[in-house]
Amino acid sequence: MYKVIVVEDELTNSLLLKRLLTKAGYQVIVAHNGADALKHIEKEHFDVILTDWMMPQVDGIELIRRVRENIKPLPYIIMVTALVSESAKMYALESGADDYIAKPIDIDELLSRVKDGIKKQEQAEIQPKIITEKIQVDVIPPFVACAIATSTGGPPTLIQFFKDIDISTPAAFFIVQHGPSWMLETFAQRLQRDTQLKVNIAEKGMKIETGNIYIAPGDYHLKINSEDLTIKLDNGPKENFVRPAADPLFRSAAKTFGKYLVATILTGLGKDGTQGASFVKQVGGVVFVQDPDTAVAPSMPRNAIESGYADKILPLQDLGIAIQNELINLDKVLKKAIK
């Protein structure tokens, strides 16, 4: 039976959540503030933490930070709060929450998020299946590209990453950051303040150009139309329990850019990007992976490494410059091939 700890200082809310989760088949413990929760979490493992934000002694943000710093294996963390401004939501996710649910709670949505979160946790411990599909491409695209996968802890990681990418870098960048529409739109606006590259929420039919960042929109897989280098969006089934997922992007980018593609797997929960990395390797592309020790959530980069798909493993502070140099070198090779 999966174990959930509800951290909520309002008695009525905590009892309601306990009753609903217990009815759904979970073993539930209630803590009335972050300090109380830490005592439980340090003694026994929980699969999920549902925590309020504003609480006495230790609030939800501080609880999340302490759990991420000190608890192994990490539970799936959902912030449940009445603070619903976009800045508050982003702050909670940047502090290490895996998900964010606003009060009043939609119980069906909550149960769905808890279920998917547990599946992602379990997926992180499972070795990826051997890829049976084989692809071979020999393409000469008009420019080089970088496809990036990230999840928990992604926004601040991406901001630091792109600070080291110069606007003159001759490449297009594609990002799958797991999250809902509001989060991705807010993140895009914030990233634009920290980079000279043009930041776009990807739209169907959008022309792909160098000097641009294309972020997968909420609830759509981001793919590339290789025939005319435009954006394709797909609201088909979730992959790795998420939509958008990185694997569809990586597969599509591998077929479009071939050996002129750099794939990058950053912080995140689960194993999204690992299967897609196998396609990138098949076509001769390069796979960079963030050192898990520098990741807020290490399982996505760790899975790629353990599966043998990582060409280069670097700490976050070194990734941006290294990938920029790789893209510049690939661009030189591509220009010779075009001639």
In a domain, 133, yes or no: no
Q: Does residue 117 sit in the same domain as residue 174?
A: no
CATH number of domain containing 81: 3.40.50.2300
**Spatial separation of the C-alpha atoms in residues 83 and 103, rounded to whole Å:** 8
**Spatial separation of the C-alpha atoms in residues 30 and 19, rounded to whole Å:** 11
In a domain, 20, yes or no: yes
In a domain, 310, yes or no: yes
Determine the structural domain holding residue 35 and report its residue range. Answer: 3-124
Q: Does residue 196 sit in the same domain as residue 276?
A: yes
Q: Does residue 51 sit in the same domain as residue 119?
A: yes
Helix, strand, coil percentages for the chain (3-state, nearest 5): 40, 20, 35
**Helix residue ranges, H only, the chain:** 11-23, 34-43, 60-70, 86-94, 107-124, 154-163, 181-194, 246-257, 274-282, 299-306, 316-338
Question: How much is the pLDDT for 130?
Answer: 47
Q: Does residue 109 sit in the same domain as residue 183?
A: no
Cα dihedral 92, 12, 36, 56 in deg (nearest 10):
60
Whole-model pTM?
0.86
249: pLDDT strictly greater than 90 = yes
Q: What is the mean pLDDT of the chain?
A: 92
CB 146 within 8 A of CB 171: yes
Q: Does residue 51 sit in the same domain as residue 158?
A: no
Point out the domain boundary residue: 62, 94, 124. 124
CATH number of domain containing 251: 3.40.50.180
Q: Does residue 152 sit in the same domain as residue 294?
A: yes
Q: Does residue 160 sit in the same domain as residue 19?
A: no
In a domain, 136, yes or no: no
Q: Does residue 58 sit in the same domain as residue 24?
A: yes
Q: How many domains does the chain have?
A: 2
In a domain, 296, yes or no: yes
Q: Which of 159, 150, 173 is nearest to 295 (CA)?
A: 150
In a domain, 283, yes or no: yes
Q: Does residue 97 sit in the same domain as residue 228?
A: no
Q: Does residue 183 sit in the same domain as residue 285?
A: yes
Kindly report, residue by residue over 39-75, the tens digit of the pLDDT.
Answer: 999 999 999 999 999 999 999 999 999 999 899 888 9
In a domain, 138, yes or no: no
Kindly report, residue by residue over 113-142, the tens digit of the pLDDT.
Answer: 999 999 888 876 655 554 546 666 789 999
86-100, 157-171, 173-187 — which is least confidently predicted? Answer: 86-100
- pLDDT tier at 86 (50, 70, 90 boundaries)? confident
Q: Does residue 160 sit in the same domain as residue 258?
A: yes
In a domain, 132, yes or no: no
**Spatial separation of the C-alpha atoms in residues 238 and 117, rounded to whole Å:** 13
Q: Does residue 69 sit in the same domain as residue 206?
A: no
Question: How much is the pLDDT for 328?
Answer: 97
Q: Catalytic positions, please? A: 151, 178, 272
